[in-house]
A and B are shown apart, each in its own frame.
Chain A
Amino acid sequence: MIGEIIINAFLVTLMLTIAIFIINTRKVISTILLTGTYSLVAALMFVSLDAVDVAFTEASVGAGISTILFLAALSYLPKEEKEEKFNLKHIYAICTCTIVSGLLIWASYDLPLVGQLENPAHQHLAQDFIEGSRNHIGIPNVVTSILASYRGYDTFGETVVIYTAGIAVLVLLHDGVSKISKINKEKK
Chain B
Amino acid sequence: MIDQIFGVWNYWIVFILMMIGLYIVISKKSLLKKIVGLAIFQTSVFLLYITFGKIAGGTAPILTDNVNEIYSNPLPHVLILTAIVVGVATTALGLALTVRINKAYGTINEDEISASDLVEYHEKYLEDKN
Contacts and interface: CB of A to CB of B under 8 A. Distances in A.
**CB atoms of A and B under 8 A apart anywhere in the complex?**
yes
A177 to B, nearest CB: 9
Nearest to B67: A134
Contact of B18 (A4, A101, A142, A162): A101
A8 B6 contact: yes
B2 interface: yes
Contact of A62 (B62, B74, B88): B88
Given A49-B72, A115-B7, A147 B15 contact: no
Given A15-B17, A69-B92, A108 B54 contact: no
Interface SS of A by simple majority: helix
A92 to B, nearest CB: 8
A78 B29 contact: no
Contacts of B28: 81
Given A57-B84, A154-B82, A12 B77 contact: no
Interface in A35-69: 35, 38-39, 42, 45-46, 49-54, 57-58, 61-62, 65-66, 69
Contacts of A74: 32
A133 B33 contact: no
Contacts of B46: 42, 46, 54, 58
Interface string B27-48: 1111011001001100100110
A167 B95 CA distance: 14
Contacts of A1: 56-57
B19 A31 contact: no
Interface stretch (B96-104, B113-121, B122-130): B96-104
B63 A23 contact: no
A140 interface: yes
A38 B77 CA distance: 19
A175 to B, nearest CB: 12
Contacts of A12: 9-10, 13-14, 47
Contact of B15 (A50, A51, A104, A154): A104
Contacts of A22: 20, 24, 36, 40
B12 to A, nearest CB: 6
The 3 tightest CB contacts between A and B, nearest first, are A113-B7, A115-B56, A165-B89
